[in-house]
Amino acid sequence: MLAGSIFMSGLDRMPDAPATPTDESPVLERFLRESERRALRMAELAAGNREEALDLVQDAMLGFVRHYAARPADEWPPLFWRVLDSRINDWHRRQRVRGRWLGWFDRAGDDDEHDDPIAAAPDPCEPGPLARLADSEAGIALEAALRALPLRQRQAFLLRLWEGLDVADTAAAMRCSEGSVKTHLWRALANLRNTLEKYR
């Protein structure tokens, strides 16, 4: 089981919003302002370019405000990420359909079933793939490794570890079971580690 301490890193970023239904725009605006940059980076990692990512974030904000702004503010984080995840999935689906028409198939794919868990298991003596890289190099390496991940694995990694949602909220955001979140996350960690090994 993964240690829980590091997985709380994003929780301190969540707004101290009231737990009662509210329609006060300042609270909503603050929540969106605090989430939008990470939402953009998440969308950018999925879409591969900033323009598309900005459109996805704007769509997500509109959808979230229209459908969920009246809900209690403490329910907002998983709902917002759920809307964004849905937009990213839709975008990804459209790209795949377009790719089929163009005769191009994404070789990375989203098929998580062919991963070999034993081959992907981490080496216990290794301090970590990013340990020997300078920040700029490590940032580039991490970005490339995240982009190479299948969509669901990347979303599980970003929502659970970066955004700091707990397993239940991550499952709600990704519309899957908690067990699936754990599986996607474990595979994401194994794949990231393997990919980042090349940068050492």
Partner 1 sequence: MNTPRKPLDPRVPTAAESGAQEAWVERAVALLDESARDLDAATLSRLNRARQTALASRRRPRQRWLIGGGFAAAALALVVAIGINQRAVPPPALSADVAAQEDLDALVGDDSPDLYENLDFYAWLDAQQQDGNG
- Contact residues: partner 1, CB under 8 A: 1-3, 5-6, 9-10, 23, 25, 28-29, 32-33, 36-38, 40-41, 50, 54, 57-58, 61-62, 64-66, 69, 117-118, 121-122, 124-131, 135, 138-139, 142-143, 158, 161-162, 186, 189, 192-193, 196
For residue 191, give the amino acid letter: N
Whole-angstrom distance, CA of residue 137 vs CA of residue 67: 41
Tokens describing residue 43 = 């969308």
- Distance between CA 85 and CA 96 in Å, rounded? 16
Instruction: Work out how close the CB of 50 gets to partner 1 at its nearest, in angstroms, rounded to a whole number.
Output: 7
Contacts of 130 (CB under 8 A, 6+ apart): 138, 141, 142, 196
Question: Least distance in Å: CB of 109 to partner 1?
Answer: 22
**Taking the complex as a whole, how short is the minimal distance between the CB of residue 188 and partner 1, in angstroms?**
10
User: Of the two residues 82 and 193, which places its CB atom closer to partner 1 in the complex?
Assistant: 193
Which residue matches tokens 């079933």? 113
Give the nearest distance from C-beta 33 to partner 1 in angstroms: 6
